[in-house]
Amino acid sequence: MSEKIGRNDPCWCGSGRKYKRCHLEMDQNKSLIPDYQEKMKQTFSYKTCLAPFKNDCSNKIAKSHTVSRTSLSNIAVDGHVYHFKMDFLNELKNLKKDGIGIEEKKTFNPLNPDINVLRKNYLKPERIGINKSSTFNGFCEKHDREIFEDLENKSFIDSDKQYFLLFYRAVCRKLYDLEAGINMDGVQKEMFGEFLSLIMSNNAQLIDLRDIDKIKKEMDENIKNEKYYDINWFSIKTDNPPFMMVNEIFAPKYDCNSEKTENMIIIEMQNPSLLLDWIVVSSFSYKNENRISFIWHGDSNGTAKSLISSLFSDDANNISIKKVFSVAISSCENVYLSIPWWDNLSDDIKKKVSEKYTAGTGANMNCDPFKPIDIPVNEIKYKEVASNFNIDEFFK
């Protein structure tokens, strides 16, 4: 902030309130920031076991990897990968740099997808150790080991059970994060007021939580009965480990051609009683088996058909790895990148990738989050696709 703001001037954050009634106290008391960061760390690291078996948990909670540690190891350098990380203090500094004006939005929310303000800064990836990558405290050690044994300790054979478990792992992580986010929303409002909430509105999170909780309960029953069905998967086999590792569930609103999916149609109907279609994008590498997969549960075929059909290149015969990458980087936060791959990108491509990731968090960036980036993908040798359904019939 280059010019000093008077007490009665509009606050720099764009809330429309006077500075003295808005950010003056926080700017004078920087101790709020460490307090906030500590509370966030505590809120998003609570310990629980999300397994459907509640009576025989072990005493110790595991650091469960949403993306397998083996997959991360296969793209790591000296035990490290790249990950986009948000720092709250930097966010406040960047808001001031962006020069948000009160005429643009009365309540400024840097990650609100409905915001009309154009964000100029973008998140950049940082090195992170693989032991800390993609972990959450969502299972006890016993159930983490037993439930996901077919993923961690057995060869990958494209079984429905293995894809079911990839989907289930992403569902549990999403449920964990949504519950923590709702709790964090109260902390944010208490410390900074509603105008500076850095996550979705509480109402939107509750709707997502309802959807995810319903899916998890259905899958819990499948696990109890050892019936790993009602799952669909479409998998891209590659010769090399994907340079991007991800395992996350999301509700696509647009496909790779910027066409609306059924989810967007439901959202435009403004009927919160209707459930969205949720899809998991998952990449992994284990014992020379490398995959980039799209997995969905139940009746999400409409949205899945739109998304997957848009992944094909213009000749309709080959998958575009660039489109696959763009879907993941613009839709998921649980993304980890190969250090050599990132370091070898041009500054211009790095900027475009970072902007697309930042746009995926909900910020209004000057980019189309669904338009593929012209990234180098030569190191990914695409072999074939596989699925547990008839692809030709699916796309009719």
Helical packing angle, 160-192 and 202-224, nearest 10°: 150
Looking at residue 381, its pLDDT comes to 73
pLDDT of residue 3: 60
Cα 28 to Cα 34, 178, 184: the distances in Å are 14, 32, 23
Lowest mean pLDDT among 10-14, 168-172, 209-213, 309-313: 10-14
Residue 360 to residue 368: CA distance in whole angstroms: 10
**Distance between CA atoms of residues 99 and 102, nearest Å:** 10
Instruction: List, edge to edge, every strand of the sheet that includes 289-297.
Output: 125-129, 80-84, 335-337, 244-250, 279-286, 289-297, 231-238, 382-387
Greater confidence (192 vs 228) lies with: 228
Per DSSP, the residues of 307-355 read HHHTTB-TTSSSB-HHHHHHHHHHH-S-EEE-HHHHHTS-HHHHHHHHH
pLDDT at 384: 87
> Which whole number is the average pLDDT over 143-153?
92
DSSP letter at 119 equals: P
347-360 per-position pLDDT tens digit: 999 988 988 888 87
Q: Is residue 277's pLDDT more than 60?
A: yes
Q: 55-109 pLDDT, tens per residue?
A: 789 989 999 999 999 999 999 999 999 999 876 555 555 554 444 433 333 343 4
d(CA 116, CA 118): 6
Cβ proximity of 176 and 334 under 8 Å: no
CA 328 – CA 72 distance, rounded (Å): 16
What is the residue-averaged pLDDT of the chain?
A: 81
Proportion of the chain above pLDDT 70, given as a percent: 78
Cβ–Cβ < 8 Å for 311, 374: no
Owner of token pair 């025989």: 56
pLDDT at 220: 96
pLDDT of residue 224: 94
Question: Is the pLDDT reported for residue 250 higher than 80?
Answer: yes
Residue 217 predicted with pLDDT over 50: yes
Torsional class of 270: left (φ above 0), alpha (ψ -120 to 50), beta (otherwise): left
What is the pLDDT, as a whole number, of residue 28?
A: 63
What is the predicted pLDDT for the residue at 26? 62
Dihedral of CA 221/210/194/366: which sign? positive
Nearest to 299 by CA among 252, 232, 393: 232
Q: What is the pLDDT of residue 97?
A: 45
Full-model pTM: 0.84
Q: With 80 as the cut, is the pLDDT of residue 197 above it?
A: no
Is residue 114 pLDDT above 70, yes or no?
no
Question: pLDDT tens-digit profile of 339-387?
Answer: 999 999 999 999 889 888 888 776 655 666 667 777 877 667 778 889 9
